Amino acid sequence: MASKIDPKVYASLLRVRQAYAFDAGCFLMRFYAYMMNIGTVTMLTLAGYSFFVAGLTSSVIAMSTFFVAPRVSKKVDELGQSKVVPLAAAVTMVGLAAMLANVWLHGPVWVLFAAAVPMGFVPRPEALARARWTYLIRSGRLGDAAPELRTMFSYEGVLDDIGFMFSPSISIALATALVPIAGLLAGGMTFAAGTVLLTLSRSTEPEPGWAAREGGGEKRQDQPAKRRAIIRTSSVVRVLFAIMFFVGAFFSVFDATTVALAEELGNANIAGIVLIVASCVSMVTGFLFGMLRLRVPQYAQLVAAAVVIGLAYGSMFLVDSGLSLFVMSTIAALFYAPLLITANATCERAVPGDRITEAITWMNAGMTCGMAFGPSVSGIIVDTWGAATSFDFGALLAAAVPVTALLCVGVLKRNVRG
């Protein structure tokens, strides 16, 4: 249970002035990362390509991100951010440039698919920022003034919510108001600026192998160049991958089905209101959650969060009207940010500090995979049986989150540090 609520916990983060530059850089990078898929669909449909082509191109980006991003993050942990991030970002920008040029010229479809593959090389800004904070806090560089890791994960979660909430709408607004490529072009420019800002912040960059050398308390048998993927060596990362797969699946089904229900009800504005309110509730809850000082073991926090969110979003089978959708969405959104914050904190407690970038990226890759799977199935369900049945499918996916956590509670208890 919580021993107390401390409203001043975020002041310790704001006092770490050396974090301002890299956090600003990662914040800028987030905008492109979060608008990449929906921005591509919007851009292609506005440019005259079919919904099928737009959806397939977005799926290629998602699958490329799933396969490539964790390997990029592995190299980041092994060689350092300044050596890997600029190269990966350059590959990403080459793919984006090819995509934008082809759309501007209304070129062939195969070029879109070819350009989508290098776009998956995008370095994950949420993992890069958390890795730097973890390094600063756990290496002892901040001394007694170091903030709590839990507070940091809450703070970064709020930044994630801001990017996730606003970047797709900004992309859509620019694409519809100006030209179809305007949204992703603006996102690419902010991503490039953020990459430069992050790369120039060398003083806070985690040193490869720092956890074994600077008092992190972890001993590693293998050399960085010979390390296997963290998802192969860490059972907790595999559990988190599975949990986040179902989270991404049910949440994307909920988003897509919300739009479908709004269309069935003949009022498209319902979807926008529901999703915006839910995002705001999640952002505020994440901020407040960081003020809690919990004395519950970390693995138990994750299991509890998984059970609560499974029950909350599992109730979407009750949705049959705009009002019930709004009530269910608003209540369930209270528990979304706490789950993500707890999952990130659990990941940090289960892996060596100098592998946190790769571990968090694998966890997010699970969500990416789920977000590719969920809508593809729910789309068929909506077309065949309607939005209500799709909500039933989403409820089953949500129920899989606590089931997975409860089945793996022994693994979590043994491998998550107290």
Q: What is the spatial distance between Cα 272 and Cα 250, in angstroms, rounded to a whole number?
A: 18
User: What is the dotted CATH code of the domain comprising 19-206?
Assistant: 1.20.1250
Query: Which pLDDT value is given to residue 283?
Result: 85
Q: What is the spatial distance between Cα 135 and Cα 137, in angstroms, rounded to a whole number?
A: 6
CA distances from 413 to 377, 399, 408 (A): 34, 21, 9
Query: Which pLDDT value is given to residue 5?
Result: 65
Query: Which pLDDT value is given to residue 216?
Result: 45
Query: Which pLDDT value is given to residue 353?
Result: 78
Give yes or no on whether 19-206 and 228-418 have one common fold: yes
What are the sequence ranges of the domains in the chain?
19-206, 228-418
Contact 163, 36 (CB under 8 A): no
Query: Which pLDDT value is given to residue 244?
Result: 93
pLDDT truncated to tens, each residue of the chain (418 aa)? 445 666 677 777 778 888 889 999 999 999 888 888 778 877 888 888 877 788 788 888 888 888 898 899 989 988 889 999 999 999 999 999 999 999 999 999 999 999 999 998 989 998 899 889 888 888 777 777 777 777 888 888 888 878 877 787 788 788 888 898 998 999 999 999 999 999 998 888 888 877 655 544 444 444 445 678 888 889 999 999 999 999 988 988 888 788 788 878 887 678 778 878 888 898 888 888 877 777 888 899 999 999 999 999 999 999 988 899 999 999 999 998 899 889 988 988 888 877 888 898 899 888 888 877 887 788 788 878 888 898 999 999 999 999 999 999 999 999 887 6
Query: Which pLDDT value is given to residue 48?
Result: 84
* Residue 380: HSE in the Cβ half-sphere, 13 Å Cα cutoff: 5
Query: Which pLDDT value is given to residue 218?
Result: 46
Cβ neighbours of residue 65 closer than 8 Å, sequence gap 6 or more: 119, 120, 122, 365, 368
Bridge partners, 2 (sequence order) = 294
Q: What is the spatial distance between Cα 155 and Cα 341, in angstroms, rounded to a whole number?
A: 9
Per-position DSSP letters for 21-36, written without gaps between them? HHHHHHHHHHHHHHHH
Contact 250, 390 (CB under 8 A): no
User: Residue 131 is encoded by which pair of tokens?
Assistant: 């890795």
Cβ neighbours of residue 189 closer than 8 Å, sequence gap 6 or more: none
Domain 228-418 has CATH 1.20.1250.20: yes
For 4, the 3-state DSSP assignment is strand
